[in-house]
Amino acid sequence: MYKSQKLARVAPEIGALRLGMGWSPEDLEKPQVLVESTAGTSHPGSVHLGSLAQAAGEGIRGSGGQPSFFTVTDICDGIAQGHDGMNYSLASREFICNLIEIHARSTPFDGLVLVSSCDKAVPAHLMAAARLGLPAVHVPGGTMPAGPDFLTLEQIGTYNVKLEQGEISPEAFRRYELNACPSCGACQFMGTACTMQVMAEALGLALPGSALLPAAQNAILRSARAAGQAVARLIDAGITAKDILTPAAFRNAIRVHAAIAGSTNVLLHLPAVAHELGIALEPRLFDEINRQVPWLVDTKPGGRYPTELMRYAGGVPAVMREIKDLLELDALTVTGKTVGENLEELEARGYFALGELELKRFGLHKEDVIRPRSHPLRPEGGIAVLSGNLAPLGAVVKPAAIVPRMLCHTGPAVPFNSEEEAYRAIVEKRIRPGSVIVIRYEGPRGSGMPEMFYTTEALAADPELVASTAIVTDGRFSGATRGPAVGHVSPEAISGGPLALIEAGDLIRIDIPGRRLDLVGVAGAEKSPEEMERILAERRATWQPPALPEKKGVLKIYCRSAASAMQGGYLE
């Protein structure tokens, strides 16, 4: 007898209520599967997910199960940009997960299918799968194609800065705007949305080859249908998400993340998923793995191609095949087989050869998009974790998006207490080359940890600044961020972290090869480490937290209880 049937015996109204929805008596005897999606007309990444949820339902029914469809629509970070809506972005991850927990705990279910595409939806779904411990499969919602000349959405921010500075006309900007999002699906670069789709598959919770499928093509419907069939097999086999989301699975995902040079936001999301299972993913693990795994995938924003082409080049399985000797191949996946067995099966059925045919349309080969280990884009992965007297608990940077001369940089601090102030200073040409822009009080407990996307885009749009000037913040960055930007600085400023103690003209040293972030001087003059320790102690003794804008509702709940960014920013 299925778990749902046992609970139905305890609460006899369940059957009657389900029959009231048009179910047949036979449907009550089937394994019950919760199909959760973020479907809604909120943005292109979710507008099409209803059809994928229905396709998953077909797979469930065809395998003898009964689906129930629930929705918690997500928000779009792109639409939330530039106003206070961005403060709610990371918090939304927690509340999506919480509502799925409510759905699953209040109604008897035997399995779970999760359908999502984007930045906070995918991690929320992975957190829910880990928390609930049901047999579960994730269905990635795929990606939209690029516009003309590989135009992708993250370029709009740069073009907007050029428009504000009079470098392009309103008509030119309008052309970019009209062509940046040709269809539904996640944005076309290796930002957080596409990165998290890759992570779902690399963790083993999505079917092999399902991440980054073109959202407007029929193959994604077949993949969703197959996910419905897969969850039925997992229910019969008694394999739950907790059996799949093991420490080995997380290490494999971090290795794949290094190879794709994915979004820095993964250092928020994977630890939060692992936390649901009582697994601690320490920041140093990310750094150690990124020192071992080379950057192989040539996708935007750090590379040349939209993410659709990564899928044509073989997607996650092709990346895994390239770093196969570094993976833990015995990790279990939603196929009921291991990572190693999945790769062997894909090879046998000609999966990798098929991708080459797709790439011919673009005049490319697999090796153009997913480099061989012998010719990486960079010998190390895309992420580095820094520490020092400015980041005792750590900070995150993406070396793959930084010009080599900025990997080591010392400059005078220009502190701001909000992103908006920093953005205006850059756009209005008030930042001197060589500076270190400090943006503080933007961490999880400060303001909800919004993205600094517009500020980093303004920096990237200025050729002189992007090659000479850095940003250091306790906030986070978009997966599309380019340029010298250090984020997630912990402890955050509102908690009395060293970032709160910086004064204008202090010297900040960023040493990415040495993995250091330090305050090394005052008023333009370098000091010894001992002197800096004394100066910071003196400043800390008189520091008072600033009066930040009042928070209400869910943002107040989140900011009051959020964990450190380097722990995952989850609700404690």
Catalytic residue numbers?
Answer: 478
SS (H, E, C) 533-567: HHHHHHHHHHCCCCCCCCCCHHHHHHHHHECCHHH
Across the strands, what pairs with 485?
471
Residue at token pair 């961005």: 86
**Residue 388: φ, ψ to 5°:** 155, -170
What burial letters (b/e) apply to 223-248, b meaning 16+ CB within 10 Å? bbbbbbbbbbbbbbeebbbbebbbeb
Collapsed DSSP state (helix, strand, coil) of residue 476: strand
Evaluate the omega torsion of the peptide bond into residue 301 and state whether it is cis, within 30 degrees of 0.
yes
Tokens of 481: 């961020």
Residue at token pair 């103690």: 501
Angle (CA) 187-169-465 rounded to 5° is: 70
**How far is residue 261 from each of residues 91, 151, 192, 300, 481, measured CA to CA in Å?**
25, 20, 11, 10, 12
First to last CA, the chain: 36
Name the helix (H) or strand (E) containing 180: none
**How far is residue 28 from each of residues 22, 34, 69, 132, measured CA to CA in Å?**
11, 14, 15, 22
The torsion region of residue 449 among left (phi > 0), alpha (psi -120 to 50) and beta comes to left
Residue 40 one-letter amino acid: G
DSSP string for residues in 28-45: GGSPEEEEEE--STTSTT
Q: How many CB atoms are located within 10 Å of the residue 66 CB?
A: 21
Cβ distance 543 to 423 under 8 Å? no
Tokens of 240: 């739950």
Helices (H), 293-428: 307-312, 315-322, 339-348, 351-359, 366-369, 419-427
Q: Where are the beta strands (DSSP E) in 1-65?
A: 32-37
Tokens of 261: 């040079």
Alpha carbon 17 to chain centroid, angstroms? 39
Residue at token pair 């989301």: 245
